[in-house]
Amino acid sequence: MPYRSQSRRSASRAAAMGLLCLALSAGAAFAADDEEDEPAKPDVPNIYLDLRTIYATIPAGTLGLGFGNTSLSAAFEALAVRRGSTLPNGLPAAKSIAVDLPLTVDVSDRVSLYGGVSGSTIDIGGGWSTFDVTSWNIGVQADLYQQNGGRIPTIRLQSTLTQSVPNEQGMTNSFNNILEFDYALDEDETRGWLAGMQYTYTTIASPFASIRPNTILYAGGYYQWPSNWKFTGRLGIQSFGGAQFAGRTLAESFTQPLLRLDLDRMDDNDNRLFGITAQIAWMPKPSYQLTLRTPLYAVRN
């Protein structure tokens, strides 16, 4: 009898231990499921000054046009309107140095918001002007659709409002919109094709001047090496409607090709660390532009 009681107690203890182990295992499993079900905590958005330093040469009789040149164009547009009555032969050839300082917040991997000021100095043959703040801008860039390994390309929209300063007669407002299609050829999106359109519409606070829209249609591609250097090329056609002041032509209309080449240094999370852009735009004479892009991060994920 004692041996039977002892055997029963041993069996009871073994059963209890087995139930305890089962309960612990089940508890761990449910805890893991709960962790998986809990939404991931959002990362703090990237916050940085997207510092861009631009050097450009502008041939006579045209404005600072090209890919995304809203601040540079605003400076030339304001100059053209304010000096329109003193430029009997139209706009002279010019050189310009501009600095863009938009504060940028990457709200998510799909949406970025930005806004800031731009300053420039211009040489139209008599020496460089004083470097002044010449415009401010606000804008948004959003992926309306992301490819994510599918067959439909990423659809990206960028819209920017730029206003020249000071706010006086001849002030310009530019609305710049870029719609781009990005078709990645691999899962990591390190190489692919691009196609898009840029449309710029400008209004002027002057009854005597007008600037017609500027449209660019382009195609290109990109490749990113394992070292995180990324090369992007875009070739397009630019069509400008011209600019008038008091019935006189300040800038002729044209339809000409343009080429833009970008070389960027990225990190492992595709944040830009450094970039250099070279652009040649025929208007119809060639205009050259070089841009250094050196983001200053306050927060970088």
88-136 pLDDT, tens digit per residue, is: 566 788 888 999 999 999 999 899 999 999 998 888 888 898 988 989 9
Q: Do 10 and 84 fall within a single domain?
A: no
Range of the domain at 21: 1-41
Q: Do 24 and 63 fall within a single domain?
A: no
Q: Do 75 and 173 fall within a single domain?
A: yes
Residue 210: predicted pLDDT: 86
Chain segment 45-86, per-residue pLDDT in tens: 999 999 999 999 988 888 888 887 777 777 666 666 666 555
Q: Do 18 and 67 fall within a single domain?
A: no
Q: Do 191 and 148 fall within a single domain?
A: yes
Whether residue 143 has pLDDT greater than 60 = yes
Band of the pLDDT at 291, cuts 50, 70, 90?
very high
Residue 3: predicted pLDDT: 40
Whether the predicted model's global pTM rises above the 0.75 cut: yes
Chain segment 202-237, per-residue pLDDT in tens: 888 888 788 899 999 999 999 999 999 999 999 999
How far is Cα 198 from Cα 216, in angstroms, rounded to an integer? Answer: 5
Sequence-distant contacts of 148-155: CB under 8 A, at least 24 apart: 149/187, 153/181, 153/182, 153/183, 153/184, 153/193, 154/181, 154/182, 154/183, 154/184, 155/179, 155/180, 155/181, 155/182
Helix (H) or strand (E) holding 49: strand 46-49
Residue 189: predicted pLDDT: 93
Q: What is the mean pLDDT of residues 190-195?
A: 97
Q: Do 146 and 36 fall within a single domain?
A: no
How far is Cα 216 from Cα 237, in angstroms, rounded to an integer? Answer: 6
Q: Please report, for residues 6, 43, 161, 175, the alpha-carbon distance to residue 1 in angstroms, rounded to integers and kept in the order given.
A: 9, 67, 94, 97
How far is Cα 37 from Cα 190, in angstroms, rounded to an integer? Answer: 31
Contact of 99 with 120, CB cutoff 8 Å: yes
Residue 29: predicted pLDDT: 44
Contact of 74 with 65, CB cutoff 8 Å: no
Q: What is the mean pLDDT of residues 253-261?
A: 96
Q: Do 12 and 71 fall within a single domain?
A: no
Chain segment 160-182, per-residue pLDDT in tens: 999 988 877 778 889 999 999 99
**Residue 55 exposure: Cα atoms within 13 Å on the Cβ side:** 5
How far is Cα 229 from Cα 231, in angstroms, rounded to an integer? Answer: 7
> Looking up tokens 């080429």, which residue turns up?
259
**Residue 236 exposure: Cα atoms within 13 Å on the Cβ side:** 25
Band of the pLDDT at 4, cuts 50, 70, 90?
very low
Query: Structural domain tally of the chain?
Result: 2
Residue 11: predicted pLDDT: 41
Whether residue 296 has pLDDT greater than 50 = yes
Domain containing residue 251: CATH number: 2.40.160
